[in-house]
Amino acid sequence: MRFEHLDVWKRASRLSCDIYILTKNLKDYGFKDQITRAGLSVPSNIAEGEERESTKEKIRFFNYATASIAEVITQLYIGIEINYLDAKKSQELVKEAKQIFGMLKGLIRAKKMRISEEEAKY
C-alpha cells in the first residue's frame, strides 16, 4: 500500500484522530458528526487517490482531500467562535490543517507536472 508511506497521509490521519479526541465530549452531535466526517475524509481520499492507477484519478481524489481540509478549517474556526472547542488546541489543529493543505497542493502540482511531461513525450 503506497499511501502509507506518504507524510501527508500520516499527518492527515493524525489530524483526524485529534479531531475525534477534541470532540469526544461534545454534545452537539450534528456538529461533531460533520467535523469528524470531514476530518476522516482527508486521509481517506489521499489513500484512495494514491492507490488509483491514472494520474488524473489521483489528482481528483487529492482535490477531494483538499476540499475536505478546507471544510475542517472552517468548522474548527466556527467551533472556536461558538465555544464548542478548546481555542488553543483548535488553533493548533488549524495550523496543522493549513500545512496539510499546502502539502496536498504541492502533491497535486507534482502530479500535474507529470501529466504534462507524459503528454510532451507524444
Q: How far apart are CA 1 and CA 46, in angstroms?
A: 12
**Which among 94, 117, 119, 108 has a CA at the least distance from the CA of 19?**
94
Looking at residue 115, its pLDDT comes to 80
Phi, psi of 50 (to 5 degrees): -65, -30
Question: How many structural domains does the chain have?
Answer: 1
For residue 100, give the CATH number of its domain.
Answer: 1.20.1440.60
Whole-number pLDDT of residue 116:
77
With contact defined as beta carbons under 8 Å apart, do 36 and 19 qualify? yes
120: pLDDT strictly greater than 90: no
What percent of the chain stands above pLDDT 70?
97
6 by DSSP, 3-state: which? Answer: coil
Residue 54 has pLDDT above 70, yes or no: yes
Query: DSSP 3-state assignment of 54?
Result: coil
Q: What local confidence, expressed as pLDDT, does residue 114 receive?
A: 83
The answer to whether 9 and 3 have CB atoms below 8 angstroms apart is yes
Over its C-alpha atoms, the chain yields an Rg (Å, rounded) of: 16
**pTM greater than 0.75 (yes/no):** yes
Question: For residue 24, what are the domain limits?
Answer: 2-120
| Mean pLDDT over the full length of the chain | 95
C-alpha cell at 43: 486521509
Query: What's the CA gap between 71 and 113, in Å, rounded?
Result: 27
Mean pLDDT, rounded, for 42-65 = 96
Task: Indicate if the pLDDT at residue 78 is higher than 70.
Answer: yes
